[in-house]
Amino acid sequence: MNATSPIESAATARVHLADYREPDWRIETVELEFDLDPLDTRVLARLQLRRSGHAIGPLRLDGEGLELLAIRLDGVALGDSDYRLEANGLVVFDARDGSLLETQTRLEPLHNTALSGLYTSKGGSGAVLLTQCEAQGFRRITWFPDRPDVLSRYRVTLRADRQRFPLLLSNGNLLTRGETGDGRHWATWQDPHPKPCYLFALVAGDLATLDDEFVTVEGRRVALRIHANAELIGRCAYAMDALKRAMRWDEVNYGRCYDLDIFQIVATDDFNMGAMENKGLNIFNSKYLLVDPAHSSDEDFRHVEAIVAHEYFHNWTGNRVTCRDWFQLALKEGLTVYREQQFSADSGSVVLKRIEDVQILRRAQFTEDAGPLAHAVRPDSYAAIDNFYTATVYDKGAELIRMLAARLGRAGWRAGMDEYFHRHDGQAATVEQFLAALGGANDLDLSGYLVWYAQAGTPVLSATGQYDAQSKTYTLSLKQSTAPTPGQPIKHSLPIPVRIALLGDNGLPLPLRLADSGAETSDESVLELQQESQSWRFLDIPAAPRAVSLLRGCSAPVRLSTQASATELAFLLSHESDGFNRWEAAQQLARLAFDEQLERLATQPMVKSKSPDRPADSPSAIWCDALASLIGDVTLDPALLAELLSPPDELELAERCTPYDPTLAWMAREALENSLAHALGAATLTRHADLLRQEQGAIDGAAQNRRRLLNRCLALAARREPARVFAIAAQRSVDAPSMSERQAALGVLTRHAAPQADAALASFEQAHATDAVTLDKWFALQARIPSEDTVERVEALLAHPAFSLRNPNRVHALLGTFAIRSPLAFHRADGAGYALFERALIELDGLNPQVAARMATAVRDFRRLEPGRRGRLQAMLRRLQDLPDCSRDLADILRRALDEA
Ligand code: TRP
Ligand code: ZN
């Protein structure tokens, strides 16, 4: 029998936070026995049932796409009238408190293309069987109350062919193992820590292992093992090192030790997301685990360090303390992202890490928050939880934690977190409980922050300042407003911490003393805006400040709207001591320069001069001059300099064009880059040459920082001296000692359609033909070539033998890059880009709904486009919606994007 027949009500049901009820039934212990085979896996589940006092109905278990072979209650086989199979579940009528329920289920992991539940991945020497259960994959493995507030102790036995699956892994510690005599073997794992079923995992396959050990401060010896396909095992060393550093860091900074005898990580090429924190058995997308200098860019290394730490930190924030329901997702994700951000900042540069995090926030979260998919960090209802693993939950969620941590100060934050673990270890908690624990340890009521969790949309903060020479006071007025978002027409005021400094003529901060405060002064202040608008008066300010530095370090996830002039921003760019705000001044200045380019193109679109005349006090000229005076500065951190030399990317700038004309926006950004390249003159190539002399392909922080500037200089120089730079790039794309540089050089050639581009692409393909993760770079580089012909190129690549819609990394590299990073081609006026995307999306949805839904978010902002493209995309979204077997995940995105919630 098969229980997947669609039932309308189930497919359209929404889940509401307000409807939360404690579970009627809990499962105290779970025993699972798997007879593993890619085509025919049998799962025997023994559930020890506990009925709550308040329970009213019969036992109901979730189950999706399962074939039930047998069912027994307290040892007695059940007849047809003793239970009922539903579309997505199983009801057992006579289960009692203390009953033992046994089910036997049949699965076909080989045919599971959704990569949720138990599925297979091609390994070096055959298939690997593995699981992904968050958020609701466990119900695709066996019948169970698939909700995070049901915590159980697991004992898991795996049986499989010994040759094909020598490695048999599950959560917790290995109990016993042995042979069954018929060429099969088995292993039994026991996890002593109660956990929700979304943290269950198993892996069976033929993988190589990197072994290491860690001794906790408590003296526990922990075996560390990373497993990957044999030919990739040499790329695990960096991840192992990052893991050990993360383990130590969590001990030192949060007093949290590891709590099992073994910690394992498995790499797979086929994975829907970055990685998964299964208890004691993390599973990673290879892209975020396997790196070495020959195949991985500096960014890849940074991702590995961050994600290894992220998943490890979940052991406490997520696993030991888990979420009561999926509305609390940010309780584990926002908090864990924040912990990872702290860790990465500690192991590298605080300023650079903050710049990178704010870039992600602006590109992914602010844009999400401004469109039809905007939702609160803790939404109050959802139709498909898979669609809420978003930048809002993760990155805005982390910003909310950052504000709380800043509010409490170092010691208060640590005390609050200690209290949180103390109160909720072993429990499934809520955001309210988290705030209560933090507040409890600090004698504060933090419930005012709840509105940040409940309200979607990015607040706009505006500031005006006034100096009064007579009284020598400076008054700063701050005002907040948040535009309506879907389902939330009325917005409340939020508590917004605003870190500020006033800079004097020499660039030094003026001593700040607030009216109505003591005599003490400080170089900066944190103003907490509570109401819609408020003013603060600073005393003893001898002269009008030269510049105001607002929202230092991006102290709140808001958009800042200031009247700062280009000259004031240029002053901040050269004098601000807060590294982050220095970069921020450069960004703001570049935005003004972009607006100016856009305006010019809109009024005189035919003029395509490379460095058009413009007055010396125009934002563009001021921006270029300021950067020209910095490029030779060898005392500046080269990576920071590279970031100062980079205007906001196309995703951020696109937001500034209403309606959005992709061609115009692209031309304006090109003009912006060209103007900078020409203003910097020969300096870019000079610095490039200097840096090249030091370049040996090392991966330490200093080498990575130099490389960031080296690559940026080459990209800029290509706009001024193309022939010369193309020759350099062609050479470096083949023989530079690091992948970062080779990839950047290849990018220069392809982006400018250099004569050497095709040969360089061909040699890259040849070098990495059998290396999936590295070949993704080759697909992505081509998908983002800024040309209308990229549509045909992507079309051809979809038919490339190495392309497959079954592999999420490939899909992101080719289709994702095309839809998000290739505006000229994707938005081609004849609709060819959309048509290609539509065809691929339909096929993809039939294979992997989670990935299809994520791809579809690329067009969520279609309403911002000029009418022609808007109409085409809207028609496309409607057609997709009308597909008879459109998945629940995709349908949810389409419905919200079309604003038909
Ligand atoms: N919990 C994972 C993390 O952030 C996210 C994750 C991994 C995930 N795989 C998934 C979420 C599949 C949804 C579906 O670390
Ligand atoms: Zn996470």
Looking from the CA of residue 307, the nearest atom of ligand 1 is 15
Catalytic residue, chosen from 64, 134, 311, 643, is: 311
Q: Of 2, 244, 340, 269, whose CA–CA distance to 121 is shortest? A: 269
Instruction: Classify 146 as helix, strand or coil.
Output: coil
Q: Of 524, 523, 517, whose CA–CA distance to 539 is shortest? A: 517
pLDDT tens digits for range 547-590? 999 999 999 999 999 889 999 999 999 999 999 999 999 999 99
Please say if the pLDDT value at position 609 is more than 90.
no
What is the separation of C-alpha 269 from the centre of its chain, rounded to a whole number of angstroms?
A: 18
pLDDT tens digits for range 704-729? 999 999 999 999 999 999 999 999 99
Exposure of 867 by Cβ count < 10 A (0-12 exposed, 13-18 middle, 19+ buried)? Answer: exposed
User: Hey, what are 70's tokens?
Assistant: 């047998």
pLDDT tens digits for range 251-263? 999 999 999 999 9
Q: What is the pLDDT of residue 605?
A: 60
In this structure, which amino acid lies at residue 650? E
The kind and range of the H/E element at 241 are helix 237-254
pLDDT tens digits for range 728-751? 999 999 999 999 999 999 999 999
Considering the chain, what is the average pLDDT of its residues? Answer: 96
Q: Of 308, 36, 29, whose CA–CA distance to 153 is shortest? A: 29
Contact, 373 vs 436, CB < 8 A?
no
Q: What is the pLDDT of residue 124?
A: 65
Q: Does the bond joining 228 to the residue before it have cis omega, within 30 degrees of 0? A: no
Q: How far is the CA of 365 from the centre of ligand 2 (A)?
A: 16
Q: What is the pLDDT of residue 519?
A: 85
CB atoms within 10 A of CB 683: 17
Please say if the pLDDT value at position 12 is more than 80.
no
Q: How far is the CA of 294 from the centre of ligand 1 (A)?
A: 28
State the pLDDT confidence band at 820, using cuts at 50, 70 and 90.
very high
Question: According to the 3-state scheme, what is the secondary structure of 73-126?
Answer: ECCEECCHHHEEEECCEEEECCCCCCCEEEEEEEECHHHCCCCCEEEEEEECCE
Looking from the CA of residue 274, the nearest atom of ligand 1 is 7
Residues of the chain with pLDDT > 70, as a percent, come to 97
Calculate helix-pair angle for 329-347, 431-442, nearest 10 degrees: 60
- Placement of tokens 């290394």 in the chain: 301
**Residues with beta carbon inside 6 Å of ligand 1?**
132, 134-135, 272-273, 275-277, 310-311, 333, 386, 389
Q: In what order do the strands lie in the sheet with 262-268?
A: 208-215, 221-228, 262-268, 281-285, 275-276
Question: Model-level pTM greater than 0.85?
Answer: yes
Can you tell me the distance from the alpha carbon of 555 to that of 393, in angstroms, rounded to the nearest whole number?
18
Please say if the pLDDT value at position 512 is more than 80.
yes
- Placement of tokens 């938005």 in the chain: 827
Please say if the pLDDT value at position 7 is more than 90.
no
Can you tell me the distance from the alpha carbon of 311 to that of 841, in angstroms, rounded to the nearest whole number?
30
Looking from the CA of residue 850, the nearest atom of ligand 1 is 14
Please say if the pLDDT value at position 340 is more than 70.
yes
What letter would DSSP give residue 788?
T
Q: Give long-range contacts, CB 8 A cutoff, 24+ apart: 867-874.
A: 867/659, 868/829, 869/662, 869/827, 869/829, 870/659, 872/831, 872/834, 873/834, 874/898
Instruction: Classify 460 as helix, strand or coil.
Output: strand
Q: How far is the CA of 500 from the centre of ligand 2 (A)?
A: 32
User: Hey, what are 61's tokens?
Assistant: 């278990």
Pick from 273, 338, 386 the residue to mutate for probing ligand 1's pocket: most ligand atoms within 8 Å of its CB.
273
Q: What is the pLDDT of residue 1?
A: 35
Q: What is the mean pLDDT of residues 374-391?
A: 98
In this structure, which amino acid lies at residue 811? V
Which segments of 171-289 are extended strands (E)?
173-179, 184-195, 202-205, 208-215, 221-228, 262-268, 275-276, 281-285
What letter would DSSP give residue 883?
-
Please say if the pLDDT value at position 349 is more than 90.
yes
Q: What is the pLDDT of residue 607?
A: 54
Q: What is the mean pLDDT of residues 127-150?
A: 98
Looking from the CA of residue 318, the nearest atom of ligand 1 is 1
Please tell me the number of the ligand nearest to residue 853's CA.
Answer: 1
Cα-based distances in Å from 341 to 109, 296, 303, 345: 36, 21, 11, 6
Can you tell me the distance from the alpha carbon of 35 to that of 40, in angstroms, rounded to the nearest whole number?
8
CB atoms within 10 A of CB 672: 24
Q: Does the active-site annotation cover 311?
A: yes
State the pLDDT confidence band at 69, using cuts at 50, 70 and 90.
very high
Can you tell me the distance from the alpha carbon of 35 to that of 47, in angstroms, rounded to the nearest whole number?
18
pLDDT tens digits for range 657-687? 999 999 999 999 999 999 999 999 999 999 9
Can you tell me the distance from the alpha carbon of 645 to that of 679, in angstroms, rounded to the nearest whole number?
12
Please tell me the number of the ligand nearest to residue 335's CA.
Answer: 2
Instruction: Classify 155 as helix, strand or coil.
Output: strand
What letter would DSSP give residue 317?
B
Please say if the pLDDT value at position 68 is more than 60.
yes
Q: What is the pLDDT of residue 612?
A: 54
Q: What is the mean pLDDT of residues 609-632?
A: 84
Please tell me the number of the ligand nearest to residue 848's CA.
Answer: 1
Q: Does the bond joining 659 to the residue before it have cis omega, within 30 degrees of 0? A: yes
Which residues partner with 72 through β-bridges? Answer: 77, 102
Q: What is the pLDDT of residue 2?
A: 37
Please say if the pLDDT value at position 9 is more than 50.
no
Burial track 700-714 (b if 16+ CB lie within 10 A, e otherwise): ebebbbbbbbbbbbb
Contact, 139 vs 62, CB < 8 A?
yes
In this structure, which amino acid lies at residue 354? R
Q: How far is the CA of 831 from the centre of ligand 2 (A)?
A: 37
What letter would DSSP give residue 246?
H
Write down how long the chain is. Answer: 901
State the pLDDT confidence band at 10, using cuts at 50, 70 and 90.
very low
Please say if the pLDDT value at position 608 is more than 70.
no
